[in-house]
Structure 1
């Protein structure tokens, strides 16, 4: 047979027609230099390996293995093939067998679209543990907007945290927690002066609730005010929205006179604890809601992101 240089197969052998299983058999033959031993280690029959060797000789136009002094020896060309082939086999193994996920080695920056309420309720409780488990990773919070589901599908953000999310029918999700709403008012609010000042269990009825001016919280991603979003398709009739804010944390600072604001309980209780505002139960007509994490199909097998979702879910369940 004619002499072949190592570079020759690149011109003579079409990689697209190369059977990867043949290369696996070749690697074992070059390692063992024995058809019977190679067959045993590969879990194949000796005739099958012999046929594979014949095909390899035809592909490379080289004997590859020859008998000399009673033993099988590699040809010069096969010897030159050995190291590149073993390196390639190792790289192929790394490709199909990825290293186990390790949060400690994670260097990723997670981009999460969320409102200020979601950041307070979901991210604040998890930050200490996140920093401890993944010290090299980071979280970037971006505004939750109408375009966020599209950005999620395009891979521009990793996760959305939200209650109601229009356009989420094509997304994966899991519920993180359920919450209801409280009504906040100034400490000297007229309604409070005529009710039990100490009891947060007191509930304002719908007629009284509608009688006062309100601060509304716009849910920019849904194009609706928070209460209208919770109330379903029909807006809450008869309510006077005197001020609309894009951030719920601003509401407490704006509460003066007889104004009311209706906020999720987890945020409302934090604002009450800071002082200057009073909480009561919201009208029973206002329902509770689920708050969820949303991710796209492209991230369904993303181990790092699923680890973060599990971390959020676990920490929030402990604080519920």
Structure 2
């Protein structure tokens, strides 16, 4: 390659193609037309003297040579962006980039609509993507540029990951309004469900992996009891819909429960034992600590979630009470 004659702008196209596997989607990421991306790919192939991508169905699959460049290229582009951008130069209203947030659908309800509205007024050129948070590999997603930030329950992270606490995800116990067995027990919405009834009824469990146990089963086991999980689902909103249409019950984050209850006809109860909600945190690669665009986005996310930041289980009784 003649590096002196090489157009460095082509590296942004190469990065977008590696991320998207499509000239159309790469163009959307960069704000270029598909023909412009295809022309850039032709110039890249000449410069590298390599085919770079092989078409496989509707996707462009990188050759071994260019696949090895994917992560180093993204790291270098990130360093260049950080080098050439400072706080004074970052202008949200002029910004044009995509930002990927890894998180459960909890954040599709609690964060994304308000964040999108906020950005539509302050930074209309920024495109948001909420992608599935895959448990145990989200750190890899940050390292390999598959996500710009991850939102998840607090847990140990490598020293190259930065974090910011966001909100406690306290739990509510949801059931279909007028649930016959609950009504017969005399339990009142807003109050704890009787422990025997909690264990007898079928449960829907949030689990992207299909597990039939979760953190709430530990406190229950210490009481010498066990619940009956009959359905697992990977989305909280789907859990709410399943509960609304059956005699099943479920523990879900209270913020989601409160949003879905009036829409689906749900009653909210307290669990019959203490179920401390996890602290949800934002994590990102430390290479982005000083990136002003990334820092600005972190501030927007925190600002949207700030109204929920001080909510705790001791406020549950007031929040779980049904409205007038």
Shorter-chain TM-score range: 0.5 to 0.7
Q: 2:107 aligns with which of 115, 118, 124?
A: 118
Deviations 1:289-314 (A, max 9, x none): 21111101111112111111111111
SS state of the match for residue 194, structure 1?
helix
Distance in 2 between residues matched to 1:168 and 1:189, nearest whole Å? 46
Q: Aligned with 1:214: secondary structure? A: strand
Equivalent positions of 1:110-149 (< 5 A) are 110-146=99-135, 147-149=137-139
Unaligned runs of 5+ in 2: 1-82, 310-324
Q: Distance in 2 between matches of 1:162 and 1:235?
A: 25
In the alignment, structure 1 residue 159 sits paired with structure 2 residue 145: no
Q: Retained in 1: the 8 A contact 2:241–2:264?
A: no
- The CA deviation at 1:161 is 1.0
CA contact (8 A) 2:116 2:128 kept: no
**Structure 1 gaps, min length 5:** 1-94
Deviation at 1:258, TM superposition (A): 2.9
Identify if the C-alpha distance between structure 1 residues 224 and 149 changes in structure 2 by more than 3 Å, giving closer, same or farther: farther
TM-score, normalising length: structure 2 = 0.61
Confirm or deny: 8 A CA contact 2:219 2:274 kept in the other structure: no
Q: Is the counterpart of residue 244 in structure 1 residue 232 in structure 2?
A: yes
Distance, in Å, in 2 between the alignment partners of 1:105 and 1:230 is: 46
Residue of structure 2 in register with 1:308 after alignment? 297
**Aligned to 1:259, which of 248, 253, 271?**
248
Post-superposition shift, 1:156?
A: 2.4
Deviation of the 1:205 alpha carbon: 3.6
Q: Which of the residues 296, 301, 308 maps onto 2:285?
A: 296
Q: Supply the distance in 1 between the matched residues of 2:166 and 2:211 (Cα, whole angstroms).
A: 22
SS in 1 for 2:109: helix
The answer on whether the counterparts of 2:220 and 2:273 sit within 8 Å (CA) in structure 1 is no
Aligned positions, number: 223
Contact 1:230 1:289 in 2 (8 A): no
Matches within 5 A, 1:2-81: none
**RMSD (Å), alpha carbons:** 2.9
Measure the CA separation in 1 of the matches of 2:258 and 2:286: 36
What TM-score do the two structures reach when normalised by structure 1? 0.62
Alignment partners' CA distance in 2, 1:286 and 1:192: 20
Could you list the per-position Cα deviations for residues 36-83 of structure 1 after superposition, in whole angstroms to 9, with x for gaps in the alignment? Answer: xxxxxxxxxxxxxxxxxxxxxxxxxxxxxxxxxxxxxxxxxxxxxxxx
Deviation at 1:154, TM superposition (A): 2.1
3-state SS of the aligned residue for 2:182? helix
Q: Retained in 2: the 8 A contact 1:203–1:280?
A: yes
| 1:173 counterpart = 2:163 | yes
